[in-house]
Amino acid sequence: MFLHVLFVLAGLLWWRVTITVLRGSAALRDLEAWPPDTGPRTERVTAIVAVRDGQDELGATLDGLLAQQHVSLQVIAVDDRSSDGTPALLATRARAEPRLAVVRVDVLEDGWLGKPHACALGARAASDADWLLFVDADTRLAPDALARALRAAESDGVPHLCLVPRLDGQTAPGRAVGIVFCLGLFERALDVARGSRRRTMGVGAFTLIRREVYEAIGGHSALRMHVVEDMALAQRVRAAGHRSGLRLAIDAFGVHWVTDLASAFGVLRKNYFALFRYRVDFVLLASAAFLALWVAGVLGVAHGGWSGYLASSGLASLVIAAAAIAGRYRLPRPLALLTPLLLPIVPLSLLHSTFVTLRDGGVRWRDTFYPLERLRRGS
């Protein structure tokens, strides 16, 4: 009886994921091309780049920002205690480019994580901006990315817009793993499109927000101890009664994220446990449930009966959802066939994040250690 219930539950839930991902893919619109013969945007935008020891990647990011077309743009680079060649790079670039200002952080204020602190300082230095754009130091932007994003925010009527990037530098296994994690993103895209108050979405590598809304919700000062600050910012925007926008922008915006199988564990190490508010009971329950449903899908056909076939068909249906994601990312659709086999990487990476954080007693981020109890209180 227990197995019968488990198989039925697994089948229904996996089919639900597939259907929701397909609906999310339909709801997640592409960032429209810039219309020809369109005049420049009149909004004033300040782009804020929080960087620490980014000498190898920051130059290309600044090139992309300073090459933005059709917009009035200021760039503020916040050097968060860098000890490599970042300060020299920024000093050289600032002397040659009057639109680039540099803020240096020598000492992290007590009660802050490094990135929220740097973002807050950058926002304070933005003198007359209508919009703030937060980007990471490894962001790659097409010259019209920002103008297109502003146009999308205007057409969607939203004061907060995030772009979903292409994933650069991936191996074939990295592409397959990336598709697995995009299942959750595309599922959540449906909630964003609906204006859900329960589930929101943030993308720290490209977050565009109206300055008046940013300040009204407390800015990064309200997120000073949030590791996943982009998601927390999106939640505060929605809690204040505003809607967010989400667009897929693979031709305009790229980052390095999950590049191969092993990198999934490194990339998510500091963030995944934080998403569960550092609750070990939540992590264990979610991981056990996920793995039980996955095993039910794998063993359903061998068990037989309509409930077993339902479970296996549900798990197999994820290939359909993954193929849709591969199509949106212009990746080979056969990679989707690996999705049912690779699904356990999701709970395993969560358990890895939890184990490492508990073992270390906290999180090391930007070469600063933050004790777990402080993180729990702050989140």
CA 190 to chain centre: 15
Q: What is the pLDDT of residue 260?
A: 87
Domains and CATH numbers, the chain: 2-25+267-378 (no CATH), 30-35+42-171+183-258 (3.90.550.10)
Q: How far is Cα 244 from Cα 298, in angstroms, rounded to an integer? A: 37
Q: What is the pLDDT of residues 104-159, one digit of tens each?
A: 999 999 999 999 999 999 999 998 899 999 999 999 999 999 999 999 999 999 99
Q: What is the pLDDT of residue 203?
A: 93
**Other CB atoms closer than 10 Å to residue 71's CB: what's the count?**
21
Q: What is the pLDDT of residue 177?
A: 94
* Number of alpha helices (DSSP H) and beta strands (DSSP E) in the chain: 15, 12
Question: What is the dihedral sign for C-alpha 95, 98, 100, 104?
Answer: positive
Are 245 and 162 in contact by the 8 Å Cβ rule? The answer is yes
33 Cβ contact partners less than 8 Å away, ≥ 6 residues apart: 148
pLDDT along the chain (379 residues), means of 10: 89 97 96 87 94 94 96 96 95 95 94 95 93 96 96 96 93 93 93 84 95 97 94 95 95 91 89 94 97 96 92 98 97 96 96 97 90 88
Q: In Å, how far are 40, 69, 157, 251 from 34, measured between CA atoms?
A: 11, 10, 18, 12
Q: What is the pLDDT of residue 24?
A: 95
Instruction: Give this prediction's pTM.
Output: 0.93
Are 117 and 220 in contact by the 8 Å Cβ rule? The answer is yes
Q: What is the pLDDT of residues 166-220, one digit of tens each?
A: 999 899 999 999 999 999 999 999 999 888 877 889 999 999 999 999 999 999 9
CA 231 to chain centre: 8
Task: Tell me which amino acid residue 9 is.
Answer: L
Return left, alpha or beta for 288; rule: phi > 0 is left, psi -120 to 50 is alpha, else beta. Answer: alpha
